[in-house]
């Protein structure tokens, strides 16, 4: 028998059907960061459930990832009403696993949800109206078997609904005990300042903003990070790995990596020019003893306003790789210069080419 084959390491495979008991050392070496000036602290890496926790993935695989993440000190699980696929399935699947495994640890967990994108038919299932946000929050709590979420977000700004109505709905959820904190996502700098002013007038604990942020998506540096610091809000960065672009998936030649691309990328492939720039980043990472993903995560977390980076994972090995980003040495000035050069080049380049294969 070939004992070093991964197929025979049965003692390393957890029995997912036994009652779950969290690891005693789950807080032994994990970093937590303050969210703005609030009393909320988040793990430096949080687990987003937007893709690998729908009905497209077996429930036992989801259970293994959630258990493993918590055992490693990841206490924050981020969801939204439309996560799946299909819409709503991530919250339902999480709710089952929470009820069966994680409920005894509720006071150690930060669980968030959001509403703001299309969820059901008609004019009351989208954007940021009071009607939609309050109804969606009720549905999310039922799906997740929760009495409250720790953070409830307005998932995106509404160009029609007054911001007073949207933030007022978040305030109602807090006052009803259905959310402990309020958050916003994808708001501009000016919208963030306006939202915080409304929240302050209501006494609402609006403490966190969830923007897209990565080496390839640096829009928040054009005023939003300053606004967050001014208003004493923290940020939690989503897509810090640029939907997998900032991993080893796209470093090879040709289209050999096409099978690894998610269907959500629409069959696109990386251009040769973009691939060459990604290899420059990978070379910097290698010199630091890191993978490209680890470098990308550490780069996002170098910004003081960022309390946490949201990662997705399909395997426990991916979780382990991402967690090792927290052990990296501080960036040298020369490394940051190269990252800036690559970021600028990719920002102006045509990253994606249509897949005609």
Please give the share of the chain, as a percent, with pLDDT higher than 70. 90
Q: How many helices (H) and strands (E) does the chain have?
A: 10, 12
- For 209-231, what is each residue's pLDDT tens digit? 999 999 999 999 999 999 999 99
Q: Strand, helix or coil at 326?
A: helix
Q: What is the pLDDT of residue 259?
A: 39
Mean pLDDT, to the nearest integer, of 57-65? 97
Predicted local confidence at residue 242, as pLDDT: 95
How confident is the model at residue 7, as a pLDDT? Answer: 36
Phi first, then psi: give them for residue 16, nearest 5 degrees.
Answer: -75, -5
Instruction: Report the distance separating Cα 263 and Cα 157, nearest Å.
Output: 27
Report yes or no on 256 lying in a domain. Answer: no
Residue 247 has pLDDT above 90, yes or no: yes
On the question of pLDDT at 43 being above 60, the answer is yes
Residue 101 lies in a domain: yes
Tell me, what's the pLDDT at 356? 44
Q: Are 268 and 330 in contact (CB under 8 A)?
A: no
Other Cβ atoms within 10 Å of 290 Cβ, number: 21
Q: Residue 267 — pLDDT band, cuts 50, 70, 90? A: low
Q: Across residues 172-199, what is the average pLDDT? A: 98
Query: Tokens 């426990």 appear where?
Result: 316
Strands (E), the chain: 32-34, 41-43, 45-48, 76-78, 110-115, 149-154, 179-185, 206-210, 234-237, 269-270, 306-311, 352-353
Q: Where are the beta strands (DSSP E) in 27-73?
A: 32-34, 41-43, 45-48
Q: Give yes or no for a contact between 50 and 85, defined as CB atoms under 8 angstroms apart.
A: no
260 occurs within a structural domain: no
Average pLDDT, whole number, for the chain?
91
Task: Decide the pairing of beta strands 352-353 and 269-270.
Answer: antiparallel
Q: Is residue 249 part of a domain?
A: no
Distance of CA 251 to the CA centre of its chain: 23
**Domain membership flag for residue 271:** no
Q: Is the predicted pLDDT of residue 29 greater than 70, yes or no?
A: yes
pLDDT band at 265 (very low <50, low <70, confident <90, very high): very low
Residue 61 tokens read as 């695989």
If you average pLDDT over residues 25-42, what whole number do you get? 95
Nearest to 109 by CA among 143, 78, 153: 78
Instruction: Check: CB of residue 89 under 8 Å from CB of residue 52.
Output: no
Tell me which residue range forms the domain holding 53: 30-242+292-328
pLDDT class of 258 with cuts at 50, 70, 90: very low
CA dihedral of 131, 227, 41, 61, whole degrees rounded to 10: 60
Specify the number of domains making up the chain. Answer: 1
Residue 89 is assigned to a structural domain of this protein: yes
- For residue 210, the model assigns a pLDDT of 98
- The residue among 20, 26, 53 whose CA lies nearest residue 314 is 53
Tell me the per-residue pLDDT of 294-335, one tens digit each, with 9 for 90 and over. 999 999 999 999 999 999 999 999 999 999 999 999 999 999
Predicted confidence band of residue 156 (pLDDT cuts 50, 70, 90): very high
The answer to whether 183 and 210 are in contact (CB under 8 A) is yes
Measured CA to CA in angstroms, residue 45 lies from 29, 76, 147, 164 at distances of 13, 8, 25, 32
Q: What is the pTM of this model?
A: 0.92
Q: Per-residue pLDDT tens for 113-152?
A: 999 999 999 999 999 999 999 999 999 999 999 999 999 9
Res. 10 pLDDT band, cuts 50 70 90: very low
pLDDT for 261: 46
Q: Per residue in 84-119, pLDDT tens?
A: 999 999 999 999 999 999 999 999 999 999 999 999
Residue 108 lies in a domain: yes
Is 274 a domain residue?
no
The CATH number covering residue 233 comes to 3.20.20.100
């Amino acid at each position: 028998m070939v004992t070093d084959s991964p197929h025979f390491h049965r003692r390393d495979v957890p029995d997912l059907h036994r009652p779950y008991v969290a690891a005693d050392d789950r807080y032994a070496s994990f970093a937590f960061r303050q969210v703005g000036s609030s009393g909320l602290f988040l793990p430096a890496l949080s687990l987003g459930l937007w893709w690998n926790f729908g009905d497209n993935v077996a429930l036992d695989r989801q259970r293994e990832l959630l258990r493993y993440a918590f055992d490693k000190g990841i206490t924050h699980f981020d969801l939204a009403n439309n996560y799946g696929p299909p819409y709503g399935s991530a919250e339902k699947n999480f709710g089952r696993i929470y009820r069966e495994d994680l409920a005894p640890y509720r006071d150690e967990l930060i669980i968030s949800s959001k509403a703001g994108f299309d969820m059901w038919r008609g004019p009351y299932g989208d954007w940021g109206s009071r009607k939609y946000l309050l109804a969606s929050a009720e549905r999310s709590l039922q799906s997740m078997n929760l009495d409250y979420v720790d953070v409830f977000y307005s998932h995106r700004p509404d160009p029609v609904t007054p911001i007073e109505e949207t933030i007022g709905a978040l305030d109602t959820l807090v006052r009803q005990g259905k959310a402990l904190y309020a958050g916003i996502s994808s708001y501009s700098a000016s919208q963030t300042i306006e939202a915080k002013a409304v929240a302050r007038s209501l006494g609402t604990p609006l403490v966190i903003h969830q923007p897209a942020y990565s080496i390839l998506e640096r829009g928040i540096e054009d005023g939003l990070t300053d606004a967050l610091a001014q208003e004493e809000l923290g940020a939690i960065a989503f897509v810090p790995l640029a939907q997998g672009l900032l991993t080893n998936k796209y470093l090879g030649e040709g289209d050999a990596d096409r099978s690894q691309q998610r269907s959500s990328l629409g069959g696109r492939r990386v251009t040769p020019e973009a691939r060459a720039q990604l290899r420059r980043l990978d070379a910097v990472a290698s010199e630091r003893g890191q993978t490209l993903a680890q470098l990308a995560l550490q780069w996002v977390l170098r910004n003081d306003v960022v309390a946490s980076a949201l990662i997705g994972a399909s395997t426990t090995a991916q979780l382990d790789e991402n967690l090792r980003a927290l052990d990296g040495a501080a960036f040298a000035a020369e490394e940051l210069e190269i990252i800036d050069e690559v970021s600028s080049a990719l920002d102006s380049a045509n990253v994606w080419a249509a897949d005609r294969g």
